[in-house]
Amino acid sequence: MGLIVQKYGGSSVADAEGMKRVAARIVATKKAGHQVVVVVSAMGDTTDELIDLANAVTPIPQGRELDMLLTAGERISMALLAMAINNLGFEALSFTGSQAGVITDSVHGKARIIDVTPGRIREAIDAGSIAIVAGFQGISQDTKDITTLGRGGSDTTAVALAAALDADVCEIYTDVDGVFSADPRAVPAARKLKTVTYEEMLELAAAGAKVLHLRCVEYARRFNLPIHVRSSFSPNEGTWVVENHPEGDTMEQAIISGVAHDKSEAKITIVGVPDRTGVAARIFQSIADNDINIDMIVQNVSAAATGLTDISFTLPKSEGQKATQVLQRIQGEIGFASILFDDTIGKLSLVGAGMRSHPGVTATFFAAMADAGVNIEMISTSEIRISIIVREADLERGAKAAHTAFGLDADQIEAVVYGGTGR
Ligand code: ADP
Ligand code: ASP
Ligand code: MG
């Protein structure tokens, strides 16, 4: 007998039928003799709909109230799922994040888990029940307010609970058969990966492959907890996220493991910045002081005649307005000319540990973009990733071209998208 944590995403529980299908799957795991803890997301696109509703009553919803609103989505799911399991003759008890002991910091909208004290969950499963936990939420240690972990955060709830309960495995059930070499919604020729390392998955998640939440991968790596990503709509074996690829698994040792694309970022360009020591520090300190995460940065060489330079950086689209306001406040003090905001960019990334030992990856990548007529606006690299910024309209074409250029296309279409709207 083992302890299994299963997480079901929104598309898996989009309607009553989905709830019943998932309930049957959970009961089957219980019947096989395991203790089962389930983390569930809000139904379908509920979270997006709640955000739309908040924006319809105010342009800038307060973080505390927005978190209170959004966590309602997962509460609906957890109670319905518990009922559906009860209906199959099994005992299930639902718990909010706070009841499950998910303790976070107090940053609304992107809280970090500080501690997990799952006493009530342990009690419930030891008494023979199936515990159902609302994903994506916790309670702040300081303010005692309800927090959310950021979009896609139910994955992190599941892994954090699995680590705290010392589970044997954390299964992430979604609407595709596992982690693919690219998002199957954009690249139909994507291949399913049998295994992916924590290191590669971290880069893929950071590059926008939303199949797993970035923090969930960080957590799993820290606790060396295996994650099995698979579909709730099929019995197929999925993808294992592990420390190392198994020996001799040559397919997985391809130079490039995957291509990721991301439409969620925007670009800000600060035009005519005086080229003085300390100016960049002042700009990025004020951005950081406002809890805005930035991604890529490019600073041009200043023109000798003017001593002025341009600085561009990318950030989540949702933080664009706040960042622009912050910069406007320091414009007089720093003396730059203007701020340009562009939210029609896309980020395309190549990820693969094989990149370390193979020269020429960048050349092949850029040649593929040139052949596809995709212009590169910004570039950034890590040891096992190359990311570029392109026009949003060119993004999916670029992703397909890169996938083909690195020989990743499947011979026959194997990627099935079972549900979800891709929103
Ligand atoms: P859930 O609601 O189950 O959490 P998500 O929508 O958050 O599901 O994540 C699953 C989606 O991630 C897939 O439907 C797919 O479109 C997208 N995705 C992006 N990159 C990848 C990838 N490399 N492999 C698999 N899915 C990916
Ligand atoms: N319901 C939340 C979201 O849509 C959390 C999750 O699904 O993981 O982002
Ligand atoms: Mg998700």
Band of pLDDT at residue 248, cut at 50, 70 and 90: low
CA 136 to ligand 2: nearest atom: 5
Ligand 3 centroid from CA 10, angstroms: 8
> Closest Cα to atom 4, ligand 2: which residue?
47
Nearest ligand atom owner, CA of 172: 1
Contact 270, 311 (CB under 8 A): yes
**DSSP alpha helices (H): ranges in 88-105?**
none
Cα–Cα distance list, 159 to 110, 187, 188, 374, 419 (Å):
17, 28, 29, 38, 23
Ligand 1 centroid from CA 382, angstroms: 23
What pLDDT is stored for residue 388 in this prediction? Answer: 97
CA 154 to ligand 1: nearest atom: 4
pLDDT digits (tens, 9 = 90+) for 363-397: 999 999 999 999 999 999 999 999 999 999 999 99
Q: Which helix (H) or strand (E) holds 92?
A: strand 92-95
> Closest Cα to atom 6, ligand 2: which residue?
152
CATH class of residue range 3-175: alpha beta
What pLDDT is stored for residue 255 in this prediction? Answer: 87
Given a cut of 90, whether residue 78 has pLDDT beyond it is: yes
Contact 170, 42 (CB under 8 A): no
pLDDT digits (tens, 9 = 90+) for 306-330: 889 999 999 999 899 999 999 999 9
* Ligand 1 neighbours (beta carbon < 6 A): 9-12, 41, 152, 174-176, 179-180, 182-183, 185, 209-211, 258, 417, 420, 422
Ligand 1 centroid from CA 289, angstroms: 32
Q: Which residues contact 112 (CB under 8 A, 6 or more apart)?
A: 104, 105, 149, 215
> Closest Cα to atom 9, ligand 2: which residue?
151
pLDDT digits (tens, 9 = 90+) for 82-134: 999 999 999 999 999 999 999 999 999 999 999 999 999 999 999 999 999 99
Cα–Cα distance list, 255 to 70, 319, 393, 413 (Å):
40, 34, 27, 21
Residues linked to residue 314 through DSSP beta bridges, in sequence order: 267
Given a cut of 50, whether residue 252 has pLDDT beyond it is: no
Q: Which of 154, 211, 241, 347 to probe ligand 1 with, by most ligand atoms within 8 A of CB?
A: 211
What pLDDT is stored for residue 39 in this prediction? Answer: 98
What pLDDT is stored for residue 300 in this prediction? Answer: 79
Contact 161, 219 (CB under 8 A): no
